[in-house]
Amino acid sequence: MTSTISVAEGYRVWGTFDDVKEHLSNQFKDIPFEQDSGLSVHELERDVEEYLAANADRPRVLQKANVFRIVATRGQICIDPSDWFADKLNHGNLLRKLTLGTFYTHKFSEGRWLDEATSGIIAEGTAWFEQTRDIGLTSGPRGGLDLGHISPGWETLLEGGLTGLLDRVSEARTSLGSDATEDQLAFYEAVETVYHATIELANRFAALAEQMVPDYPEQESRLKEIASACRRVPANAPRTFHEALQFLWTTHQLIEMEGENVRSMGHFDRTLYPYYKADIDSGRLTRDQAKELIKFFWYKWFANTQGAENGKNFVFGGQYPDGSVLTNDLTYVAFEAYGDLHTPDPKLSVRFVPETEDRLYETVTDLIRNGNNSFVLMNDVPAVEALVRRGKTVEDARTYLPIGCYEPAVEGKEAACTMNVTVNLTKPLELALHDGKDPLSGKQIGPHTGDPRRFETFEQLEDAYFQQLDFVLATSSKFIGEAERAWPQINPSPWIAATIDDCIARGMDVGQGGPVYNTVGFVGAGLANAGDSLMALKQAVYDEKRFTMAQMVDATDADFDGLENMRLYLVNRTPKWGNNNPQADAMATSIADHYFETVHSFTNGRGGIAQAALFTLTFAIQGGKKTGALPDGRKAGESLAPGVGSTYGQDKKGATALIDSVTKLDFNQTPNGSVLDVTLHPTAVAGEEGLDAFVSLIKTFFSKGGYAIQFNVFDAETLRDAQRHPERYASLQIRVTGWSVYFTTMSKEEQDLFIARIAHGA
């Protein structure tokens, strides 16, 4: 690509994004596939079923690889001449329908192989998770098998392209010789099958782009560049910034077609900077042209999902493997492009080290306060240390990518299934108050730990709570392990596996434990609710003896009906997490420490370890709906606390006190991630003084050992007006949890919840 592309007089190649933005926003709706470019979805499905019927005895990794081959080499394709990237293949989700279904894309239809497993070899675990999900105790994928949080090895891919990985396969197979097992040989053949099919697909795109030139003379230069890029990548290592972006987009689309959700698009300003710099230095691109390419590239993520799929994660900043600070011109070019787009997808993670320059803080906070809030800010100090404590090398830990939202994984070396199960940390207290029975459903879920009315000390109650919590964690771990051992039969994944270190050398797929690091994630939700409830019981029943345990149990069972004075006392007169109160903070940290220790004692079904996290995502609302009234005064069905923050409205001493409480947690023990949600009033961050205060707040959080933080900047009246006049606020973004959405797309219930939040001052 050059900045002097030959263009017919009157036509423009650069500076066109704003002209075609509206068109591009609909590029994935009613795609005009070239009818003579391949088979329709119905015809592909016929060929797939014929292949599967004739090859039912072959290893599933080869069955899946050949289904991929059929779809990639025979499916209809399409190129939009106003776009910079080739991408559209009419695949009909046939591979997902075979394996996992569309469960992971919020459509919840089941895949054939997953359905077989959940009704067969992992039926017991599936029943456990469905039962605990139904009562709000846990949440997660079917059977606790998280196949939706993974990232390919981006640098490995770009280093040598697919031909480089195919060479590695050949070398590994030769090295094993006659010692190679049937499973290893099947894996190698599967990798070769999907990569050769991918290269053929790229060449099909190139040929189509060339064929389109006579019909689109005004786009001749662009179409020729697309053809050139597709002839080059992903078969080979990219040479230019445009080729590298095309490589990443192709990889994303095909891995998701294979059946895995790509939960991180890599370390943008580390991985892509060499290509950007080479283009700028050589004059192939100007800075503005590079920014426009980023806009075209990033806008595809929003167009593909319309902001409905939690956002695609790109990470910036932080450090190189040797510990040196990472920021460069690409960092800021990308942020400029992001500010211009003003979309909630993609979402950006920004890593900070103590030596990070103020310019990065100021750039990010300025974007956030101006409505671009799809950021999470991460502190490398505890993030790296937490990974090292769980067995990663320091150099590997420094290359972590936030997978999904804020769950770190070593790039190209780890299959970090970060959300196998989310556990409601409050629900075990409900079980402890009812001898292991869930009060809402009446089901005996946990062990018998005794009638709490007979507990003479708070320590007896606390012990019952921890017994119930440990039972839930241990039982979940058992069934997760069983499900993971069934992974190779449910979702073999040769495309992504071969990009992750050691899979090729070992001849083992991801689900067989091929990667260097194999982890599963346990997420703890509702910490504030659990801590505040235990604190309320300690004070009101055991210390002050204001109420008996029988009165407390009866009151929560009745949802405080007719007991408003009692409820208000529990809400307003017992210590609450988030106010730098020593008693409340000690209670919450005690729960967290016990939870960390228990989770970190588990191993998984791939020979790896379990890792703990503390956050809630949408489970705050979902789990809250199935959680009864609590001793802290919370009414039945109300939302749980977000992230590691306080219960709604209870952090009454402002953001500083909230940070003081939260940073008493040991975030060196959250290798699977954590986050603090903070809401600021616009006046608190206005002007230069407000920007300085905003930056200072973040630096304080980091200096005290905080893990990650994310922000909303709004006032309640603006949100109320947006409810009344949604047409005036089409671009108003809200940071929901690990992603952002447009406020007007939220339900009335979700909108009201955000309006009810108390905005902090910086």
> Does residue 44 sit within a domain?
yes
Question: DSSP of 403-419, one letter per residue?
Answer: ETTTEEEETTTEEEEEE
DSSP 173-214: HHHHGGG--HHHHHHHHHHHHHHHHHHHHHHHHHHHHHHHGG
Judge whether 196 lies within some domain: yes
How much is the pLDDT for 108?
47
Of 419, 420, 415, the C-alpha closest to 517 is 415
The pLDDT of residue 759 is 54
User: In the chain, how many domains are there?
Assistant: 1
With a cut of 80, say whether residue 432 has pLDDT above it.
Answer: yes
Instruction: Establish if 86 belongs to a structural domain.
Output: yes
In a domain, 344, yes or no: no
Other CB atoms within 10 A of residue 749 CB: 10
- Which structural domain range is residue 244 located in? 34-109+157-261
Say yes or no to pLDDT of 390 above 70.
yes
Specify the pLDDT at position 762.
53
253 within domain boundaries = yes
Q: Which residues contact 682 (CB under 8 A, 6 or more apart)?
A: 369, 713, 714, 715
pLDDT of residue 147: 87
Per-residue model confidence (pLDDT) at position 742: 78
Domain assignment of residue 3, yes or no: no
Q: What average pLDDT does the chain have? A: 94
Nearest to 24 by CA among 90, 71, 104, 87: 87
Tens digit of each residue's pLDDT (9 = 90 or more) over 547-603: 999 999 999 999 999 999 999 999 999 999 999 999 999 999 999 999 999 999 999
The neighbour count for residue 729, using CB atoms within 10 Å, is: 17
Q: Is residue 57 part of a domain?
A: yes
For 39, 146, 376, 406, the CA distances from 313, given in Å and listed in that order, are 33, 18, 10, 9
Beta bridge mates, 266: none
pLDDT of 535 higher than 90? yes
Residue 107 has pLDDT above 50, yes or no: no
Average pLDDT estimate for 661-681: 96
Is 406 contained in some domain?
no
Burial of 456 (0-12, 13-18, 19+ CB in 10 A): exposed
Cα 140 from Cα 421, distance rounded (Å): 5
Q: Quick one: average pLDDT of 111-128?
A: 95
Q: What percent of the chain has pLDDT over 90?
A: 85
Short-list 320, 321, 278, 314, CA closest to 297:
314
Q: What is the pLDDT of residue 311?
A: 82
pTM for the whole thing?
0.94
Mean pLDDT of 463-489: 97
